[in-house]
Amino acid sequence: MPEAVRFSRYGGPEVLELAEVPRPRAGRGQIVVAVVAAALNPGETGIREGVFAGIWPAHFPEGQGNDFAGRVAETGEGVEGFAVGDEVLGFAPRAAQAEFVVVGPDVLAPRPAALGWAEAASIAGAGATAWAGVRAVDPRPGETVVVSAAAGGVGVIAAQLAKLRGATVIGTASEGNFAFLHGLGISPVTYGPGLAERLRAAAPQGVDAYLDTFGGGNVDVAIELDVRPGRINTIADEPAIWAALAESAATGEFTIPIDRVYPVAQVRDAYRDPATRHVRGKRVPAFEPLSTVEGETR
Ligand SMILES: NC(=O)c1ccc[n+]([C@@H]2O[C@H](COP(=O)([O-])OP(=O)(O)OC[C@H]3O[C@@H](n4cnc5c(N)ncnc54)[C@H](OP(=O)(O)O)[C@@H]3O)[C@@H](O)[C@H]2O)c1
């Protein structure tokens, strides 16, 4: 039987085991991939330890790993564009660290022959996250961009993508990674207390955009450096994004039109209505009566 990484209780790496599992078969529209490599990402550590149990509970026995690279082993009826033997990379949440994964063609892309297997296995998670983060802050030639945790899985790709756009990139890191970052053309600065002052010294002309891949106050540092809010992005500090968005909505910079508020007893209707997919803004079940005034609730 093929093997897969599994855990059956929350805990440290000691709860991980290589378990024998049934070989998945490709149903209609599905593809089975024989995995060659599957990356490690910090989010799955939090899931395994139970830190995120409230929002992302594990379902035991749980698998691990998201982004992978491998060879197509079987294609189901109706699959087009992929054939047995094709080398691919893709995304299989909580399942990728296994000899075989079964996925849809929508989460697979070709693996270029010149790209190593381990590198290909890092594209769909860290690579895609870095790409989206960089695109969001939109670095332009001649600008100065800060990337936090620039030696990390996401940060090291993001910093290079920002550089490819012609920006000068400052990356935060511990000193052990300074030579490594210099080698990639990224100017390293130590993270931790006093970061804003060190960044001011490193970029006397100012910082144009700030991509945080670590959390822990980087958004505050960006604001302190007067980076325009639209050019600050974080992939790791959601409450900071929520707070900024809530403030912006509260001051009327943008609106969240409320299409309809439902007493929670009418929750079935609330789900039936959006099924039309023609809402104007949000439909919200509520436990208290909320008056709706021209699409706004108070
Ligand atoms: N990987 C993904 O696909 C993905 C997707 C979405 C979101 N995320 C989230 O994004 C974050 C980063 O993920 P990752 O995969 O890049 O992590 P990672 O590869 O584990 O990177 C960790 C990096 O964090 C740096 N670091 C440690 N303490 C720091 C501090 N106090 N301030 C600034 N940097 C510090 C380290 O720098 P030094 O070694 O130089 O000390 C290290 O390079 C995580 O919160 C993760 O959950 C990841």
Most ligand 1 atoms within 8 A of CB, residue of 68, 178, 213, 238 to mutate: 213
For ligand 1, whether the C-beta of 154 sits within 6 Å is yes
Angle at 285 between CA 284 and CA 291, to 5 degrees: 75
Of all residues in the chain, the percent with pLDDT exceeding 70 is: 97
Residues in the chain: 298
For ligand 1, whether the C-beta of 31 sits within 6 Å is no
Q: Are the C-beta atoms of residues 110 and 88 closer than 8 Å to each other?
A: yes
Q: 294 pLDDT exceeds 70?
A: no
Write out pLDDT tens, residues 220-265: 999 999 999 889 999 998 888 888 888 888 999 899 888 889 999 9
- 292: phi then psi, degrees, rounded to nearest 5: -110, 125
Write out pLDDT tens, residues 59-118: 999 999 999 999 999 999 999 999 999 999 999 999 999 999 999 999 999 999 999 999
Token pair 């030696």 is at which residue?
Answer: 151
Write out pLDDT tens, residues 116-158: 999 999 999 999 999 999 999 999 999 999 999 999 999 999 9
Which of 57, 131, 129, 127 has the alpha carbon at shortest distance from 94?
Answer: 57
For ligand 1, whether the C-beta of 43 sits within 6 Å is yes
Over residues 49-64, the mean pLDDT reads 94
Q: Are the C-beta atoms of residues 73 and 33 closer than 8 Å to each other?
A: yes
For ligand 1, whether the C-beta of 177 sits within 6 Å is yes
For ligand 1, whether the C-beta of 209 sits within 6 Å is no
The sign of the torsion formed by the CA atoms of 218, 223, 226, 227 equals positive
Domains in the chain and their CATH numbers?
A: 3-121 (3.90.180.10), 126-250 (3.40.50.720), 258-297 (no CATH)
> What number does the ligand 1 atom closest to the CA of 173 have?
40
The sign of the torsion formed by the CA atoms of 32, 36, 40, 45 equals positive
Rounded to whole angstroms, the Cα distance separating 151 from 245 reads 29
- Between the CA of residue 128 and those of 12, 44, 216, what are the distances in Å? 27, 17, 22
CA 212 / ligand 1 centre spacing (Å): 9
CA 46 / ligand 1 centre spacing (Å): 13
Question: What is the predicted pLDDT for the residue at 298?
Answer: 46
For ligand 1, whether the C-beta of 46 sits within 6 Å is no
For ligand 1, whether the C-beta of 218 sits within 6 Å is no
Residue-by-residue DSSP string for the chain? --EEEEESSS-SGGG-EEEE-PPP---TT-EEEEEEEE---HHHHHHHHTTTTTTS---SSEE---EEEEEEEEE-TT--S--TT-EEEEE-TTT-SBSEEEE-GGGEEEPPTTS-HHHHTTIIIIIHHHHHHHHHH---TT-EEEESSTTSHHHHHHHHHHHHTT-EEEEEE-GGGHHHHHHTT-EEEE-STTHHHHHHHH-TT---EEEESS-TTHHHHHHHTT--GGGEEESS-HHHHHHHHHHHHHTTSS---EEEEEEGGGHHHHHHGGGG---SSEEEEESS---EETTEE-
Instruction: Look over the chain and give the mean of its residue pLDDT values, rounded to a whole number.
Output: 93
Under the banding of pLDDT at 50, 70 and 90, the label for residue 296 is: very low
CA 235 / ligand 1 centre spacing (Å): 10
Task: Mention every residue, 6+ apart, whose C-beta is less than 8 A from residue 247.
Answer: none
For ligand 1, whether the C-beta of 148 sits within 6 Å is yes
For ligand 1, whether the C-beta of 217 sits within 6 Å is no
User: Lowest mean pLDDT: which of 34-38, 52-56, 67-71, 244-248?
Assistant: 244-248
Q: 209 pLDDT exceeds 60?
A: yes
Rounded to whole angstroms, the Cα distance separating 282 from 268 reads 16
